[in-house]
Amino acid sequence: MACLVRLVASTVNVRREHVSAQLPDGAGARGGTWPRTVAVSIRFHAGTEIAEAFRAGGVVAYTYKDAAELQGLLGQAPVDIVLELNIHPDIHAVCARCGLPYVAWAFDSGSALAADMTWRAEDHIFLHNREDAAACRALGQRVRFLPFSAGTVFWREPRRTDHQFEVLAILNSYRHAVGRNESDYQAALRQLPPGHPAREQLVALHAIAEQLLVERVNDLTSERLQEELAARIRGGAITLFEQAPRKLAQFAQGLGQELAFRQRTGLVTELACGRPVDVFGDAYWRVPAAQLSNIRYHGWAAYERLPDLYNAAKISINLTQPQCLGSIPQRVFHVLASGGFLLTNGGELIWEHFRPGVHLDTFDTLAELREKCNFYLRRSDVRDRIAAAGRAEFLRHHTMQRRLGHICETVSWGKS
């Protein structure tokens, strides 16, 4: 919510159905005609998985970390396509100067990241969030919805014995968002004298946000957090965002992270009331672990450890952030590829692309999560069957090569 400080400063100065076939797979395991060479950003861990998937398909895959490294690479080697995770204007600028197709596969908001960029016919954005992709297309951008995946580094056979964990939660708490939001709010207030109209609107906005947090804390499946926030802002006659719609999106994102903190804290403490729960994540989890002996905090889980951790758990838990329910979290693919059994909060995309009770299972409330944990810990036969089916479904429809096959079919790179 740092946008509040900037915004106020400027004011003072003045359904459940399995339809996996709807998700583009590409033609066969590779899909279409692949390029000869690609340059892939490794700014994030998944970039290495993408590069390895290209190489497995016979493509020469170079890697880069930033715009300067990409510029140097392009001066030494021929490249057909440049691909990066998320949207970075400096990388796009390099591609534009060199006349190369630019591909961004983004998990952050495409509408927020791409609004100030000039797009060419050679540029393509693939977004994890379906609603965000639809909003970007409405603005005339070349955008498609494409969920993420998991590379072969995650592939494991399902484990039936010798599990290390009964219930495993690898979660970012988003506690930092709570402190940041409150700090930004107080900083914005300090810039406004008592009685200033903008100060009154800011206080009213804070009250609306808090009320929404209280009402939504137990709602684990509803989407459209930003739309609901915007409707309440209009109803309260708050005009702070009238000339700054992107700042509303940023405010909503911060609010969603604060709601995620409350929901994830509630999830872990609820589970720990009945059984041990093993938690990996940021240092905030030390706090509830000190209060409840059933919470076993193990520190931060390095990315390289994730496949073995998910494989070693009888049950892995996912709780998608409220503002991300229009996407399928990467953790879903990670757990399934690792041969793990997944319990996740529901959502339209989850229900469309996976069958609850067949490939994974879902919960709508914390009470339902607790009941299902009890059931699946008792019924290892059902749990093992679902884990095996979930991994098979991943291998049929959601591998990294299938995702890249769809990208290569879509992007024009001078095919002859």
What whole-number distance in Å separates Cα of residue 261 and Cα of residue 254?
11
Same domain, 312 and 278: yes
How would you class 271 by CB atoms within 10 Å of its CB: exposed for 0-12, middle for 13-18, buried for 19 or more?
buried
The dihedrals phi and psi of 332, each to the nearest 5 degrees, come to -60, -50
Smallest CA-to-CA distance from 249 within 114, 342, 121, 371 is with 114
**Does the residue 19 lie in any domain?**
no
Same domain, 135 and 219: no
Q: Is the pLDDT of residue 121 over 50?
A: yes
Q: pLDDT digits over 138-170, tens only?
A: 766 688 999 999 999 999 999 999 999 999 999
What whole-number distance in Å separates Cα of residue 3 and Cα of residue 410?
36
Q: pLDDT digits over 172-189, tens only?
A: 999 998 999 999 999 999
Same domain, 336 and 230: yes
The per-residue pLDDT for 263 is 95
**Does the residue 348 lie in any domain?**
yes
Same domain, 203 and 248: yes
Domain that holds residue 215: 165-378
Same domain, 139 and 193: no
Same domain, 182 and 109: no
**Does the residue 115 lie in any domain?**
yes
Total tally of structural domains belonging to the chain: 2
Are the beta carbons of 98 and 60 closer than 8 angstroms? no
Q: Is the pLDDT of residue 4 over 70?
A: no
Same domain, 320 and 190: yes
Same domain, 195 and 326: yes
**Does the residue 346 lie in any domain?**
yes
What CATH number corresponds to the domain at position 233?
3.40.50
Same domain, 210 and 328: yes
What whole-number distance in Å separates Cα of residue 312 and Cα of residue 164?
5
DSSP H/E element including 410: helix 400-410
- To the question of pTM greater than 0.75 for the whole model, the response is yes
What whole-number distance in Å separates Cα of residue 250 and Cα of residue 269?
29
What whole-number distance in Å separates Cα of residue 48 and Cα of residue 252?
31
**Does the residue 108 lie in any domain?**
yes
Q: Over range 104-126, report the average pLDDT.
A: 79
What CATH number corresponds to the domain at position 43?
3.40.50.2300
Same domain, 49 and 89: yes
Q: How confident is the model at residue 64 (pLDDT cuts 50, 70, 90)?
A: very high
The per-residue pLDDT for 27 is 35
**Does the residue 160 lie in any domain?**
no
CB atoms within 10 A of CB 342: 26
What tokens does 331 get? 């953790």
Strand pairing category for 81-85 and 361-363: unpaired
Percentage of the chain lying above the pLDDT 70 cut: 88
Smallest CA-to-CA distance from 105 within 132, 125, 133, 82 is with 125
**Does the residue 132 lie in any domain?**
yes
Regarding predicted confidence, which is higher, 312 or 19? Answer: 312
The per-residue pLDDT for 267 is 96
Same domain, 113 and 182: no
The per-residue pLDDT for 146 is 94
Same domain, 76 and 31: yes
Identity of the residue numbered 293: S
Q: Over range 284-308, report the average pLDDT.
A: 97
**Does the residue 91 lie in any domain?**
yes
| C-alpha 155, offset from chain centre | 20
